[in-house]
Amino acid sequence: MTTEAPHLQFGSAAPSLPSGLNLSRVLTRGAIAKRVVHATVAGMPVRLRYPDGTEVGGGDATAPVLEVVRPAALYRRLEAHPKIGLGEAYMAGDWRAAPGTDLAHALMPFAARMGALVPKPLLSMRGVVDRAIPRHQRNTLEGSRSNISAHYDLSNDLFAAFLDPSMSYSSALFDPSRPLAEQDLHEAQLRKVDGILDAAGVREGSRVLEIGTGWGELAIRAALRGATVTSVTLSAEQRSLALERIADAGVAHLVEVRLQDYREVTGQFDAIVSVEMIEAVGEEYWQTYFRQIDALLAPGGAVAIQAILMEHHRLLATKGSFGWIQKYIFPGGLIPSLQAIREVTRDATDLRVERVQAFGGDYAETLRRWRHTFLQEWPTIQTQGFDETFRRMWEFYLAYCEAGFATHYLDVAQIRLARRSAQ
């Protein structure tokens, strides 16, 4: 998985700035951020609770409650950088979900208001609080290796603690004809993998290229169909475990896993598959990515990717700014829109989108299960050397993303592409 989750900013209901206010002095105290937050939550089904018991917000007695533990620190962080301060404040313990309140549930009302970004009085300050993506996070050959390693090389044992036995770190695909509660996550993950392979037409004798190995499940299932697989990854940790899992599945003779950038691959393949890897490509390299796929695809072949998506207007509004997810979770990450994928493939390749299967609600459920398992397994994870700040960071990350998918700010889809001449 790679994602830039929604930026939980504040709506346009903020009051205008008082006449004669010295803005530069207020920005050192967090007063503006506090007023904006209070004005925003006044119309939302949530409550903020302060250490003295004071509560603000539009929620009733059944609404989720967020406890503000250190108000001054929270509002200084929010005022200094709205896109990063909220998550950093959670990591620091400046705020938390109250007992009985689920964190993702509490974040959903904010995610549902993503259309209203920075309040008008602060728009003129956007150049101060809206930072550009650091140049060292560009997805050059060297930059991509560094960006991927920063997340995926954390620890195989960490991921194994909360993922299903397939070690799939992307959205599962649940059966819409059955209640979610009856469905096992592992079953749904295999359904997702098989869906991608089916979309790309993978069968016995297919030459398959996988861009982004993960921990090897897709390569294994493709090989079990009788395909030969070349899989590339930039994560040494993932490659090591993927090779073990591939050998244990008895398909090592059919699968090659390379520590290699997709831009360095040569050859011809009947099917090219990639699950939630495009989010790590970066807009600067989207044309390069699809041109490379086009060049590697054999005549009559097909491409299937699974991609996290956002609406095109939201992509345009956020693509140049630096957020919490990019700073702490997925450096170099950027979520595309379906429109952007259509436009890039139209302008730079002979590939065309043929079919789109969206299932964003399934990602919310996948993230919910990951988060609950992560927290349940925290005592074991902690023994690997991870501290409480890390726990809060990952809890916020998983809940933050869940809220984005649950409110349809984000979506995920399996997308089949093929050449125009083959249609």
Place of tokens 């409480």: 388
**Mean pLDDT throughout 1-16?**
39
User: Quick check: 390 and 92 in contact, CB under 8 A?
Assistant: no
**The pLDDT of residue 29:** 67
Do 215 and 306 share a structural domain? yes
Number of separate domains in the chain: 2
Do 322 and 177 share a structural domain? yes
- Number of neighbouring beta carbons within 10 Å of residue 185: 19
Nearest alpha carbon to residue 300 among 200, 211, 228:
200
Do 90 and 41 share a structural domain? yes
Do 234 and 114 share a structural domain? no
Residue 13 has pLDDT above 80, yes or no: no
* 262-274 tens-digit pLDDT: 999 999 999 999 9
Do 327 and 281 share a structural domain? yes
Do 308 and 191 share a structural domain? yes
Task: Classify the C-alpha dihedral 369-324-56-94 as positive or negative.
Answer: positive
Encoded tokens for 220: 């294994």
Residue 105 has pLDDT above 90, yes or no: yes
| Contacts (Cβ under 8 Å, ≥6 apart) of 319 | 283, 334
Place of tokens 């250190």: 70
Do 351 and 302 share a structural domain? yes
Output the average pLDDT for the chain.
87
Mark which of 80, 110, 130 sits at the end of a domain: 130
Residue 109 has pLDDT above 70, yes or no: yes
**Predicted confidence band at 72 (pLDDT cuts at 50, 70, 90)?**
very high
User: Quick check: 4 and 330 in contact, CB under 8 A?
Assistant: yes
Residue 190 has pLDDT above 90, yes or no: yes
* In a domain? residue 8: no
Do 143 and 111 share a structural domain? no
Do 194 and 125 share a structural domain? no
Encoded tokens for 297: 């695809």
Q: Exposed e or buried b for every residue in 81-119, given b needs 16+ CB within 10 A?
A: bbbbbbbbbbbeebbbbeeebebbbbbbbbbbbbeebbb
* In a domain? residue 4: no
**Predicted confidence band at 150 (pLDDT cuts at 50, 70, 90)?**
low
User: Quick check: 309 and 252 in contact, CB under 8 A?
Assistant: no
**The pLDDT of residue 146:** 61
Residue 15 has pLDDT above 50, yes or no: no
**The pLDDT of residue 32:** 87
* In a domain? residue 346: yes
**Mean pLDDT throughout 340-367?**
98
**The pLDDT of residue 348:** 97
Do 146 and 241 share a structural domain? yes
Instruction: Answer yes or no: pTM beyond 0.85.
Output: yes
**Mean pLDDT throughout 208-226?**
98
**The pLDDT of residue 148:** 64
Q: How many residues does the chain have?
A: 423
* In a domain? residue 104: yes
Q: In which domain, by residue range, is 46 found?
A: 23-130
| Contacts (Cβ under 8 Å, ≥6 apart) of 247 | none
410-419/351-358 β-pairing: antiparallel
